[in-house]
């Protein structure tokens, strides 16, 4: 039996003396696309930071069977933060080479060029400095560096941020292709249509706790929603009542 890329049990995390999330438990399986959804301020980014050892946490969070906090536990994952901005001074090629170097990998320029086209980024942009990039171009560069790692677990915080509709569709295609090889993808997003389309399972967070973990379709069936957006709102309203 393969080891889950991500396994969380009884996780609580926060900052200083404040606990933001508690009683978090779920598992992400190999080849699974798993989405995390919730309103602003409920703790999604805190959860992601706990997985990366960037916030105070208790409980269990394992990455491929190793504790998530220490660097050794993170060697098989690549992370793209929310509001990613490339270095203004590095050229795109330099950024990619530096990023892959952190993982002991050498940049394959042909693979990078092909993936540029698969993300609707002009490969010529890689010869320019980051300060010349638009928000969308910078996001595509970050996604490019993350996908090129080829690592078996990707953790992405709002990966669609700044992308236009064409780029969003192309990214969704690339992520589905990435998972076909058995790689797992865990990501948060406010764009619930993308979550509904892409994810095998989702976790719904409300007030620092998970109120649902399972397939998007089951949440929609349970709450009678015509789509995931309406089912999500009905689920969190039910908790508030």
Residue 193 maps to which CATH number? 3.40.50.300
For residue 79, the tally of other CB atoms under 10 A from its CB is 19
Assess if residue 205 is contained within a domain.
yes
For residues 116 and 160, membership in a common domain is answered with no
For residue 51, the tally of other CB atoms under 10 A from its CB is 25
Cα–Cα dist 186/144, whole Å: 17
For residues 90 and 40, membership in a common domain is answered with no
Residue 241 has pLDDT above 80, yes or no: no
Assess if residue 176 is contained within a domain.
no
Mean pLDDT to the nearest integer, 219-236: 92
Query: Are 8 and 58 in contact, with CB atoms under 8 Å apart?
Result: no
The pLDDT score that the predictor gives to residue 1 is: 55
Mean pLDDT to the nearest integer, 81-98: 94
pTM of the model: 0.94
For residues 208 and 227, membership in a common domain is answered with yes
Q: Is 117 exposed, middle or buried (0-12, 13-18, 19+ CB in 10 A)?
A: exposed
The pLDDT score that the predictor gives to residue 41 is: 87
For residues 238 and 159, membership in a common domain is answered with yes
Sole residue written with tokens 């490019």 = 144
For residues 129 and 189, membership in a common domain is answered with no
Confidence tier at 73 by pLDDT (50, 70, 90) = confident
Residue 71 has pLDDT above 90, yes or no: no
Cα–Cα dist 117/70, whole Å: 36
Structure tokens at 48: 């992601």
For residues 40 and 20, membership in a common domain is answered with yes
For residues 35 and 121, membership in a common domain is answered with no
Strands 153-157 and 209-214: unpaired
Confidence tier at 72 by pLDDT (50, 70, 90) = confident
Assess if residue 174 is contained within a domain.
no
For residues 137 and 160, membership in a common domain is answered with no
For residues 227 and 160, membership in a common domain is answered with yes
Q: Count up the domains in the chain and report the number.
A: 2
Cα–Cα dist 92/95, whole Å: 5
Confidence tier at 144 by pLDDT (50, 70, 90) = very high
Assess if residue 169 is contained within a domain.
no
Assess if residue 171 is contained within a domain.
no
Assess if residue 177 is contained within a domain.
no
Angle formed by the axes of helices 109-118 and 92-102, to 10°?
Answer: 110
Residue 162 has pLDDT above 80, yes or no: yes
For residues 158 and 101, membership in a common domain is answered with no
Q: Which of 241, 181, 192 is nearest to 219 (CA)?
A: 192
Residue 100 has pLDDT above 60, yes or no: yes
Query: Are 36 and 186 in contact, with CB atoms under 8 Å apart?
Result: yes
Mean pLDDT to the nearest integer, 203-217: 96
Model pLDDT for residues 168-206, shown as the tens digit of each residue: 999 999 999 999 989 999 999 999 999 999 999 999 999
For residues 56 and 1, membership in a common domain is answered with yes
The pLDDT score that the predictor gives to residue 55 is: 83
Least confident among 15-19, 32-36, 161-165, 189-193? 15-19
Residue 4 has pLDDT above 60, yes or no: yes
Assess if residue 175 is contained within a domain.
no
For residues 111 and 229, membership in a common domain is answered with no
Mean pLDDT to the nearest integer, 75-79: 94
Residue 166 has pLDDT above 90, yes or no: yes
What is the signed CA dihedral for 206, 211, 214, 217, rounded to 10 degrees? -70
Residue 203 structural domain: 1-76+153-164+183-241
Assess if residue 173 is contained within a domain.
no
């Amino acid at each position: 039996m393969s080891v889950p890329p991500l396994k969380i049990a009884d996780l609580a995390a926060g900052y200083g003396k404040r606990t933001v999330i508690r009683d978090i438990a779920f598992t992400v399986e190999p080849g699974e696309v798993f989405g995390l959804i919730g309103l602003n301020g409920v703790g999604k980014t805190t959860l992601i930071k706990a997985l990366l050892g960037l916030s105070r946490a208790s409980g269990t969070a394992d990455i491929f069977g190793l504790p998530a906090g220490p660097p050794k536990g993170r060697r098989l994952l690549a992370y793209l933060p929310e509001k990613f901005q490339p270095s203004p001074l590095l050229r795109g090629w330099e950024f990619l080479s530096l990023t892959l170097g952190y993982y002991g990998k050498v940049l394959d320029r042909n693979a990078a060029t092909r993936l540029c086209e698969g993300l609707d980024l002009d490969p010529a942009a890689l010869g320019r400095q980051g300060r010349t990039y638009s928000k969308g171009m910078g996001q595509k560069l970050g996604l490019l560096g993350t996908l090129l790692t080829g690592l078996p677990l990707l953790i992405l915080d709002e990966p669609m941020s700044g992308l236009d509709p064409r780029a969003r569709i192309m990214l969704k295609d690339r992520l589905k292709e990435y998972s076909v090889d058995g790689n797992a993808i865990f990501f948060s997003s406010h764009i619930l249509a993308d979550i509904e389309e892409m994810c095998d399972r989702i976790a719904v967070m409300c007030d620092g706790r998970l109120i649902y973990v399972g397939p998007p379709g089951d949440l929609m069936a349970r709450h009678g929603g015509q789509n995931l957006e309406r089912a999500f709102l009905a689920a969190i309203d039910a908790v508030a009542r």
